[in-house]
Structure 1
Amino acid sequence: MITQADFHPARWLRGSHVQTILPNLLRPRHSIPLRRERLELPDGDFLDLDWAPTMDGPLVILFHGLEGSSRSPYAAGLMRRLHDQGFQALTLHFRGCSGEPNRLPRSYFAGDTGDMAWVVEQLTQRFPERPVAGIGVSLGGNALLKWLGETGDTNPLSAAVAISVPFDLDKAARRMERGLSRLYQGYLVGRLRRSTQAKCRRMPLPIDCTALPQLRTFRQFDDAVTARLHGFRDVDDYYGQCSCRQYLHGIRTPTLILHAIDDPFMSPEVIPTEPELSSTVHLELAHHGGHVGFVEGWGRYWLERRVPHWLQQSLTMSV
């Protein structure tokens, strides 16, 4: 089902770039103390979890976006609000995103569902009496929706939320090569280059490390680095296999997708149509909101209101 979101920004906040940039530059930091836990993976690598203070409610796992972490403004805001609402919130850091480089000659990518599945399995074994929900943001949202669609009825999550998801990775990457979106691309690809250069200095990688300075676009970086590190033939093979849009029809978990039509990280053509969604997926579209923005006014963030409210309703019904 596709409906119109009840997000209404202040008149001076309707621009897509204002919505995207403002929360990252001016958002007040009302973060809560976090406890870090390291999980050792079967392949010899590790994942870091950041836990909000202990609560007795359902577990809600946040899967961050590209180069994000629990310190990202959207993550800190959601974690705080979820904690205030009685949820046991935690952030799963993808490999290499917790502030410490991961050990193996690989990283994370938009279709990396294996690590999230392994972590959820560990948590459901540890807390068998609690429902578990997932929130995926941008790249993390793409991976979450892909995993939900791949696993269908066997997925262990009781509910899921996906925010500002690229849906079609190729179309999203090509959109980032146009207009002001190139500024976001330059910033993010620059961070990816630097982290990869640091990894090149620590261990041998199956890529041409000398070519990293010439990689300026997502497609170039994903072709030369992401695809090669993670077993894909090339960038088209990576995008083709990992775009979540093709998996949406297989989702059986109650799932809310929140998306802005003016998201500068992608064009409206990436947004799925209603026939592509399963009956358990509810897509709420807003005319404004930018990329993971949704700022209603000064200090008021719609995501922090909408996400906990929907989870409260969904998880109560699932118990």
Structure 2
Amino acid sequence: MNTDQFPYAAPWWLPGGNAQTLWAALASRRHFGPAPTWTRSRWSTPDGDFIDVDQARHTSRSGAPLLVLFHGLEGSSASQYAVAFADFAATHGLAFAVPHFRGCSGELNHAPRAYHSGDFEEIDWILKRFATEHPGRPLIAAGVSLGGNALMRWAAEMGASAGQRVRAVASICSPLDLAAGGHAIGRGFNRLVYTRMFMASMVPKALKKLEQHPGLFDRTALLAARDLFEFDNLFTAPLHGFRDTPDYWSRASAKPVLHQIRVPALALNARNDPFVPAASLPTPQQVGRHVTLWQPGQGGHVGFPVAHGVLGLPGNVRAMPDAVGHWLLSHL
């Protein structure tokens, strides 16, 4: 197990995890080169549904690595971290792709199911297809928040065979202990800001899913849900084979199985992440020798803004993709 560190320090004008999180999401500079443009492909899923995959249009040399990024809860290729990773990939001549979890590409998927934090079966067939379509490119994969937990679950489930798909994986600000993260986001400021933001996106999509599949869940109860625990209890857990929220959060968490990973894996978590309590982060004793832990004191949730320009204003979010991207490339 490695404990190499990401030497991150936040700008003086962004104190605290909430400021670092919100600035990165709402106001930061995402790219230094041209804004990424995408070619979208629709892939049929093994169960007859579909996902949409965005592949960056910038040029990459033949045989250059393909970096696959799995987004976070209600994320997409438009999320600030996806744009920043696309900029990193363009700068270094890598191919880059963002597969959208079901229902996250702007069009509701057809099946009753959606996506969840432990969706390692979905990760598996997606990576298998990328490997099949790009046989001359070594694959590296990163996952942000929810996508990172699912990716680490996949790496643990696959064991040594994961190396047949990818050279290395990374999770970024992932709630590897879902119960700890789920309870944290349901309290105080987090409940007022982040929970409300996620629910404003997730509830309308769930109601459209109910229109597709009448009787799928209790509409009145869902409309009364006020946090992710209640939402997951009514929607996410039962639709994906879990008994209830505690069962889902327990069985889908990657932290208990990190020791099973057999490919180079990086877990980056800021210790001031509002969503992911520092006390819940994995320790060196809980992971195997293939896992590297980066746990800087600052950064927020998928933030890590850095200063540039006059007086260090405004900030950009390229530091994290640069650090994670170079770590992944070092394992080719």
TM category (shorter chain) comes to: over 0.9
Structure 2, unpaired ranges of 5+: 308-313
**1:32 is aligned to 2:36:** yes
> Is the Cα contact below 8 Å between 1:63 and 1:140 reproduced in 2?
yes
Q: 1:296 maps to which residue?
A: 306
> Is the Cα contact below 8 Å between 2:174 and 2:276 reproduced in 1?
no
> Is the Cα contact below 8 Å between 2:28 and 2:305 reproduced in 1?
no
Which of the numbers 178, 182, 186 marks the counterpart of 2:187?
178
The whole-number CA distance in structure 1 between the counterparts of 2:315 and 2:19 is 14
> Is the Cα contact below 8 Å between 1:206 and 1:228 reproduced in 2?
no
> Is the Cα contact below 8 Å between 1:15 and 1:288 reproduced in 2?
yes
> Is the Cα contact below 8 Å between 2:68 and 2:142 reproduced in 1?
yes
**1:158 is aligned to 2:167:** yes
The aligned amino acid for 2:295 is L
**1:306 is aligned to 2:311:** no
* Residues matched between the structures, number: 315
The whole-number CA distance in structure 1 between the counterparts of 2:287 and 2:188 is 30
The whole-number CA distance in structure 2 between the counterparts of 1:32 and 1:233 is 41
Q: 2:60 maps to which residue?
A: 55
The aligned amino acid for 1:33 is T
What SS does the corresponding residue of 1:279 show, helix, strand or coil?
coil
Structural RMSD (CA)? 1.3
The whole-number CA distance in structure 2 between the counterparts of 1:72 and 1:300 is 14
TM-score when scaled to structure 1?
0.95
CA separation of 1:207/1:259 partners in 2, compared to 1, >3 Å: closer, same or farther? same
> Is the Cα contact below 8 Å between 2:17 and 2:273 reproduced in 1?
yes
The aligned amino acid for 2:245 is V
Structure 1 residue 305 displacement after superposition: 1.9
**1:272 is aligned to 2:282:** yes
The worse-fitting range, judged by mean Cα deviation, of 187-196 and 26-35 is 26-35
Which of the numbers 190, 212, 216 marks the counterpart of 1:202?
212
Structure 1 residue 283 displacement after superposition: 0.7
The whole-number CA distance in structure 2 between the counterparts of 1:97 and 1:87 is 24
What SS does the corresponding residue of 1:227 show, helix, strand or coil?
helix
Structure 1 residue 3 displacement after superposition: 4.1
Q: 1:93 maps to which residue?
A: 100
Q: 2:310 maps to which residue?
A: none
Q: 2:176 maps to which residue?
A: 167
In the TM superposition, 1:69-84 aligns within 5 A as 69-84=76-91
The whole-number CA distance in structure 2 between the counterparts of 1:227 and 1:309 is 36
The whole-number CA distance in structure 2 between the counterparts of 1:195 and 1:211 is 15
Which of the numbers 200, 203, 208 marks the counterpart of 1:193?
203
> Is the Cα contact below 8 Å between 1:64 and 1:93 reproduced in 2?
yes
Structure 1 residue 218 displacement after superposition: 1.0
* Deviations, residues 38-68 of structure 1 (Å, cap 9, x unaligned): 1111211011110012413111110000000
* Deviations, residues 87-106 of structure 1 (Å, cap 9, x unaligned): 11000100000011000111
Structure 1 residue 189 displacement after superposition: 2.1
TM-score when scaled to structure 2?
0.92
The whole-number CA distance in structure 2 between the counterparts of 1:100 and 1:177 is 28
The whole-number CA distance in structure 1 between the counterparts of 2:30 and 2:274 is 24
The whole-number CA distance in structure 2 between the counterparts of 1:289 and 1:28 is 16
Structure 1 residue 84 displacement after superposition: 1.6
In the TM superposition, 1:211-250 aligns within 5 A as 211-250=221-260
Structure 1, unpaired ranges of 5+: none
Which of the numbers 63, 67, 70 marks the counterpart of 2:74?
67
Taking every aligned residue pair, what percent have the same amino acid on both sides? 38
* Deviations, residues 261-300 of structure 1 (Å, cap 9, x unaligned): 0000121121011111111111111101000000121343
The whole-number CA distance in structure 2 between the counterparts of 1:21 and 1:247 is 31
> Is the Cα contact below 8 Å between 2:264 and 2:331 reproduced in 1?
yes
Q: 2:128 maps to which residue?
A: 121
Structure 1 residue 205 displacement after superposition: 4.6
The whole-number CA distance in structure 2 between the counterparts of 1:2 and 1:208 is 46
CA separation of 1:22/1:33 partners in 2, compared to 1, >3 Å: closer, same or farther? same
